[in-house]
């Protein structure tokens, strides 16, 4: 099996709700390798596959699975720090890969691992684009007031570049203020260290 690396539309991403059937094939092959432990390994994998659900929205991604012990993970795009795409030989042969999503939770392992999605490259690109969009570059939105008028806090719908310029100016002013305070402190220290003429 091969995967199509053409771009995936947002509608196609939002339509992904379940893993592809090739994931169950991968689980079965992985369980067969365990030999006599096969029945004990295949059962949890079987139920994981049949209960796994994904939901992609404008705000983030969620994943849930389990029968007896239900687990659900919800991540907003702003929380995503890094995305890794990994696959072993069998996953590549089946046209699959795992998308490991990491957050700033302090854990060394991925917060969420999306598996069983044949459009893994398109999904990864979608997640990267949303992650970057959530972290900056967006236009400041005007807020609605209770009387229906616009209130944008004096920003006037400024762009990110304009806001960055204002922040650079503020940083320069703070540096100048810090230098001024350091100079004054040095003068005070020199004055205290000077011998009395009295």
| 92: CATH | 2.30.29
Task: Give yes or no: residues 52 and 111 share one domain.
Answer: yes
Task: Give yes or no: residues 98 and 30 share one domain.
Answer: yes
* Amino acid 32: pLDDT: 96
Give the mean pLDDT of the chain.
Answer: 83
Task: Give yes or no: residues 127 and 171 share one domain.
Answer: no
Q: Is the dihedral of CA 87, 88, 89, 94 positive or negative?
A: negative
* Amino acid 56: pLDDT: 95
Task: Give yes or no: residues 26 and 112 share one domain.
Answer: yes
Task: Give yes or no: residues 61 and 157 share one domain.
Answer: no
Main-chain dihedrals φ then ψ at residue 155, nearest 5 degrees: -85, -20
* Amino acid 198: pLDDT: 47
Structural domain that includes position 110: 10-135
Q: How many domains does the chain have?
A: 2
* Amino acid 53: pLDDT: 97
Task: Give yes or no: residues 17 and 59 share one domain.
Answer: yes
- Extract the tokens encoding 3: 């995967």
The domain boundary residue, chosen from 112, 135, 158: 135
Residue 1 · residue 94 · CB < 8 Å: yes
195: left (phi over 0), alpha (psi -120 to 50) or beta: beta
Task: Give yes or no: residues 123 and 178 share one domain.
Answer: no
Task: Give yes or no: residues 99 and 152 share one domain.
Answer: no
* Amino acid 134: pLDDT: 65
Residues of the chain with pLDDT below 70 are: 1-6, 134-158, 194-198
Q: First vs last Cα of the chain: how many Å apart? A: 95
**5 within some domain:** no
* Amino acid 161: pLDDT: 72
Spatial distance between the Cα atoms of 150 and 138, rounded to a whole number of angstroms:
18
């Amino acid at each position: 099996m091969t995967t199509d690396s053409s771009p995936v539309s947002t509608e196609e991403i939002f339509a992904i709700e379940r893993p592809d059937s090739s994931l169950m094939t991968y689980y079965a092959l992985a369980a067969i390798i365990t030999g006599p432990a096969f029945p004990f390994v295949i059962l949890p994998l079987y139920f994981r596959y049949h209960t796994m659900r994904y939901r992609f929205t404008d705000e983030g991604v969620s994943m849930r699975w389990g029968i007896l012990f239900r687990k659900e993970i919800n991540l907003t795009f702003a929380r995503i720090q890094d995305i890794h795409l990994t696959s072993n030989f069998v996953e590549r042969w089946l046209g699959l890969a795992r998308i490991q999503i990491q957050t700033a939770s302090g854990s060394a392992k991925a917060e969420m691992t999306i598996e069983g999605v044949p459009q893994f490259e398109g999904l990864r690109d979608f997640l990267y684009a949303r992650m970057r969009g959530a972290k900056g570059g967006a236009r400041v939105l005007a807020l609605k007031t209770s009387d229906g008028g616009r209130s944008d806090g004096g920003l006037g719908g400024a762009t990110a570049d304009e806001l960055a310029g204002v922040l650079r100016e503020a940083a320069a002013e703070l540096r100048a203020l810090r230098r001024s305070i350091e100079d004054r402190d040095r003068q005070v220290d020199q004055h205290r260290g000077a011998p009395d003429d009295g």
